[in-house]
Structure 1
Amino acid sequence: MAVDKVIWKIVLDFVVLACLAISLLALVLWAEPYQRGYFINDESIRLPFKEQTVSEVVLGVLGFAIMIATTVAVEVMRDKQGKGIGDKFICGTTVPGWLRESYATVGAFTFGAVSQQFICNLGKYVVGRLRPNFYDVCRPVPNTDSVLNEFAYIQNYTCTGSDHSLIRDARLSFPSAHSSFSLYAAVFFICYIQVKVKWRGSKLLRHTLQFAAVLGAWYVGLSRVVEHKHHWSDVAAGFLFGATSAVLTFVYVLKPKNYGLPTSWQTDRDGRTDGRAR
């Protein structure tokens, strides 16, 4: 019976992730963004089009690869040090503790990543904010006969640009999904190694890795502004949402209380906070 429960939990995990992934894919492929108008004198949407240096695929693959490699390396190391959860028999097969822990961590990370990307992209299609390169991509021609264009705000216009996919993408500025995922991955990585990695060989190595994660996410966000893909406020909103999603996922999905938190996060037997550092 216990084996059946474990198998069903794994199956349900994959079903949930598949449903979320399919929903995100359907949104990106088939949804149409809100057709927002523009102000004639709005200079913020008249910047030239530039090719992006960090694509969605590259960012996603890099984020997941780093998290998976880090998780496996840390859990194998902890297992060899005797700090793991121990092996377990499932369906007559011995499953190493490091593999179970890696599955739980990567699963939680994936769930949070897909969830925050779905919500972030949903916001893009609902808001329909124009990107800084909208004018260059769309090349809008206002309908002079429309009563909707009697004032400075143009609502009825035709895009004369040749690339329809770019025109559609030019309406998806807020919030920045790149910035959201990059900081989500960075904050989750920071929390994970803060809790799991305990090495006395160097006091600064762990914090250097955490700083590098933040630096990478910061670069991704800045590149979106420099390359005229987003307004600065889009990036700021993406950063805020990504960081919040990472903390909520780490605390309430991964549940770090099961992983031996630092002493300063624990309480003594009388319920008082123990402020000592390890």
Structure 2
Amino acid sequence: MDRVKHLWSKTNRWHRVIFILLIVELRLLPNHQLGFQCNDPALSHPFTGDTISWKWLLATVALLPLVILLIVERVYNKDDSERSKHQALCWYKEYMFGVLINLTLVQLIKVLVGAPRPHFFDTCNPQEAGSCTGSEYVSSYTCLKAHWLSQSDKSFPSGHTSLALHTGVFIAYYLHQRTKHLVRSKAVLSAQVLSILSAVYCALSRITDHRHHWWDVLAGAVIGVPILFYTVASLCKNFDCPNVGKEDTSEDKPNTSITCDTS
């Protein structure tokens, strides 16, 4: 036990959250499964793919805020490129930690709940459905389509919605905070509106694609809001980077770097 405590003390917040995520993704936790009602129309939709794939979503979540932060901070500190880069990277690291918490919590809930997706019958093809009669409830089942076994029961909550909301509102609020003392341009307002609308579009596409029920999308949004608030208010200190290194106040050597504690 002492050895475990010693090893744990050597880890930082990133290690701990990634450790939990690995436990979930490697299926080291018991995977709960909710049952289904025979011939349930809510689970009888065909699988038609994703309007917004996981790869596209994760690429956008990871890269778009970084690009915007670097551009805006470069404009904000146009006379000090090194300082602007450090400031942008500082906030970006805190943003990504919030994304990691979001992803870990959503994946954990998916495993603990095990809710069937709207295309459950199509992609799982449960063996028990063949002998279903009426609206009988089946508490346990076996998927005949093995390659969909780990996805057909991961409907609740919507990870797409939670991550899209986290990113879209983060960008919009960041732009609001960093430009509130300036004359707002149409480009800034357009970027804010586009960020929010993109998040909403992603959420709605999960329903129209029949990848999630409406309550899964609502739950994803509910989960995303407090994590986003924690990211902005606690991690980024309302965009006043936490644990910033002390500035060199020497008259002949202006400060050009910012350090951010990411442990």
Q: TM-score range by the shorter chain?
A: 0.7 to 0.9
Q: CA deviation at 1:29?
A: 3.5
CA separation in 1, counterparts of 2:239 and 2:160? 30
Whether the 8 Å CA contact 1:189–1:213 is kept in 2: the answer is: yes
Matches within 5 A, 1:47-62: 47-62=45-60
- Among candidates 105, 130, 134, match of residue 116 of structure 2: 130
Q: Which has the larger strand fraction?
A: 1
CA separation in 1, counterparts of 2:84 and 2:129? 63
- Among candidates 12, 16, 35, match of residue 13 of structure 2: 16
* Unpaired segments ≥5 residues, structure 1: 1-11, 88-95, 260-278
Correspondence for 2:237: 255
Correspondence for 2:244: none
CA separation in 2, counterparts of 1:240 and 1:189? 18
* Unpaired segments ≥5 residues, structure 2: 1-8, 242-263
Whether the 8 Å CA contact 1:113–1:184 is kept in 2: the answer is: yes
CA separation in 2, counterparts of 1:118 and 1:144? 36
Whether the 8 Å CA contact 1:184–1:242 is kept in 2: the answer is: yes
Query: How large is the RMSD of aligned CA atoms in angstroms?
Result: 2.7
Whether the 8 Å CA contact 2:38–2:129 is kept in 1: the answer is: no
Whether the 8 Å CA contact 2:37–2:138 is kept in 1: the answer is: yes
Matches within 5 A, 1:1-278: 15-31=12-28, 33-80=31-78, 96-142=82-128, 152-161=136-145, 164-197=146-179, 198-200=181-183, 202=185, 204-256=186-238, 258=240
Q: CA deviation at 1:76?
A: 1.4
What secondary structure does 1:142 align onto?
helix
CA separation in 1, counterparts of 2:74 and 2:176? 17
- Matched pairs, number: 229
Runs of 4+ in 1 over 6 A off after TM superposition: none
What secondary structure does 2:127 align onto?
strand
Identity %: 26
Q: CA deviation at 1:22?
A: 4.3
Q: CA deviation at 1:144?
A: 9.8
TM-score (norm 1): 0.74
- Residue type of the alignment partner of 2:237: K
CA separation in 1, counterparts of 2:16 and 2:142? 36
Q: CA deviation at 1:201?
A: 6.0
Deviation readout 1:45-65 (Å, 9 max, x if unpaired): 111111113222211111221
Deviation readout 1:50-105 (Å, 9 max, x if unpaired): 11132222111112211001111111111126xxxx79xxxxxxxx3212211221
